[in-house]
Structure 1
Amino acid sequence: MDREQISRIAHADHPIKAPLDDGSVRRLLEHGVFRADARVLDLGCGTAEWLLRALETHPRLHAEGVDISEDALAQAGRAASRLGVRERLVLHHRSAADFAPAEPFDLVLSVGATHAFGGLLPTLAAARRLLAPGGRVLIGEGFWDREPSRAAVEMLGEFTDLATTVDRVVADGWTPVDGHVSTRRELDDYEWSCWGSLASWALDRPADPDAAEALETASARRSEWLHVYRDTFGFVSLVLRRTSDR
């Protein structure tokens, strides 16, 4: 099974690919979309769940999503058609780092996708170039809630603590106007859902040639979460404005 197939199955019951529940997603979008006719861009949109929710809520909103996964974009297009918002959604099959639109956006999102640009600050630099005057950025990033083990760092990458993460953002010329730190329940629900969905898919298809691999992957990922990073990893989502816009 390739990584994309595993991700699609794992997120079947948790379409937001980050540890956020529906209420948190709704509140962050309410603070990010500050005008009814906003232009919204998601860098690394996947199946465009954030954009679909914004489009449903704001009938004059225009959205664009960028992703390297053709399969995820196809899913996004089908979902948009079912919701009746397809004519207001443009999907780009390309690297987010290479995206160069003709017009700027009022809100730029990148939640759980900063790896596409090489980290938090490079993602913010990319967003700055795409943002209209007075616009906002909604970004989601991991942080260390406690001192991590070497295994956790090797598995998840280099993060800092929450305060240092926000300090780096502020020093880079941004002002947080809203934010959300994922709760223990959101973090746990996300992991249980992902690896439970993948395990259930395998158990429901014992004759499928991929079933054994899917079940093994679900077990391994669940074990890594419980033994390596559950007690140290956190996730923060920030709604930002450029400080120079004040």
Structure 2
Amino acid sequence: MERHLISRIAHRHHPIAAPLFDESVERLLTRALPERAEHLLDLGCGEGAWLLRALATRPSLRAVGVDLDTEGLAKAREGAERLGLTRQIGLHHQDAREFEAKEPFDAVFCIGSTHAFGGLEQTLAAIRPLLAPGGVAVVGEGYWQREPDPRSLEIFGDGFADLSGTVARVTADGWTPVYGHASSEAELDDYEFAWTGSLTEWALDHPEDPDSADALQVAAEHRDEWLGGYRGVFGFVTLVLRRSAP
């Protein structure tokens, strides 16, 4: 089953593709987008959930999203049309690693998509030339809540640190956190139940679809990896970052 299709179905009831409750999203947007902010970029925007949430409360913003998922971008356009925001948003079907800006952005988001750049430091390196002086980067990244067991390492690889180590990697790269949110266990559980449940529900409602059996298998395997593996081990933090003073 195609990866983008799995993600699209799995996030039907959790459009913010990260383990965050709505109030956490609102708080992050408030801290990342002060009144003076005018220009927002989301690298790996998917269906544009972050962009649309930001524009709904700040229609004076101009927002740009970049993603390789054609259908996801189409849904982002539909959402913008529904909210009357098509003139405030630009969407690019492009590899985020190749995106070049005509002008710098006040805020650049990459939440849950650092893998597209090869990791945390590579993501920050890609954001750096896109950011206006005094602008913020908002980066969502996994971390280890406790020492990972072999199964968790098999699932996620060895690219994460603990929370302290994750912040240390950021500061060593010349960035300073001005805000952050470590997702709670309730947020992590809600996200995983929504992800596996939405995929399972779709498969049960579409038994005639050739992807139905694959969807059930993916959901079951994911649920087993979570409940029998990385639950309580994997964490997620969203950091609002500014460039450190020289």
TM-score for the superposition, normalised by structure 1: 0.97
Quote the residue 2:64 is aligned against: 64
Alignment of 1:160-199 (within 5 A): 160-199=161-200
In structure 2, how many angstroms separate the alpha carbons of the residues matched to 1:53 and 1:74? 17
2:53 maps to a residue whose letter is R
What is the Cα deviation at residue 35 of structure 1? Answer: 2.7
What is the Cα deviation at residue 206 of structure 1? Answer: 2.4
What is the Cα deviation at residue 56 of structure 1? Answer: 0.6
In structure 1, how many angstroms separate the alpha carbons of the residues matched to 2:81 and 2:170? 37
1:105 maps to a residue whose letter is F
Alignment of 1:73-222 (within 5 A): 73-157=73-157, 158-222=159-223
In structure 2, how many angstroms separate the alpha carbons of the residues matched to 1:144 and 1:86? 39
SS at match of 2:137: strand
- Are 1:36 and 1:58, in contact at CA under 8 Å, matched by a contact in 2? no
- Are 1:65 and 1:92, in contact at CA under 8 Å, matched by a contact in 2? yes
In structure 2, how many angstroms separate the alpha carbons of the residues matched to 1:75 and 1:36? 29
Bigger drift between 34-43 and 54-63 goes to: 34-43
Alignment of 1:44-55 (within 5 A): 44-55=44-55
What is the Cα deviation at residue 36 of structure 1? Answer: 4.6
What is the Cα deviation at residue 154 of structure 1? Answer: 2.1
Q: Deviations over 1:155-196 (max 9, x none)?
A: 112200000100111111111111000000000000000100
Bigger drift between 21-30 and 151-160 goes to: 151-160
In structure 1, how many angstroms separate the alpha carbons of the residues matched to 2:75 and 2:42? 15
SS at match of 2:245: helix
In structure 2, how many angstroms separate the alpha carbons of the residues matched to 1:208 and 1:56? 35
In structure 1, how many angstroms separate the alpha carbons of the residues matched to 2:106 and 2:128? 11
In structure 2, how many angstroms separate the alpha carbons of the residues matched to 1:37 and 1:7? 30
Q: Residues 65 and 137 of structure 1: is their aligned pair in 2 closer, same or farther, counting only changes over 3 Å?
A: same
The alignment of Structure 1 onto Structure 2 pairs a total of residues equal to 245
1:149 maps to a residue whose letter is D
Root mean square deviation of aligned Cα: 1.1
What is the Cα deviation at residue 199 of structure 1? Answer: 0.6
1:120 maps to a residue whose letter is L
| 1:243 and 2:244 are equivalent in the alignment | yes
Structure 1 gaps, min length 5: none
- Are 1:42 and 1:64, in contact at CA under 8 Å, matched by a contact in 2? yes
In structure 1, how many angstroms separate the alpha carbons of the residues matched to 2:44 and 2:207? 33
Q: Deviations over 1:124-176 (max 9, x none)?
A: 11111100011001110000001111221121122000001001111111111
Quote the residue 1:43 is aligned against: 43
What is the Cα deviation at residue 208 of structure 1? Answer: 2.6
- Are 1:36 and 1:60, in contact at CA under 8 Å, matched by a contact in 2? no
2:118 maps to a residue whose letter is G
Bigger drift between 183-192 and 220-229 goes to: 220-229
What is the Cα deviation at residue 243 of structure 1? Answer: 1.0
- Are 1:143 and 1:162, in contact at CA under 8 Å, matched by a contact in 2? yes
Identity of aligned residues (%): 56
In structure 1, how many angstroms separate the alpha carbons of the residues matched to 2:94 and 2:209? 32
In structure 2, how many angstroms separate the alpha carbons of the residues matched to 1:208 and 1:140? 34
| 1:33 and 2:30 are equivalent in the alignment | no
- Are 2:37 and 2:107, in contact at CA under 8 Å, matched by a contact in 1? no
In structure 1, how many angstroms separate the alpha carbons of the residues matched to 2:138 and 2:37? 17
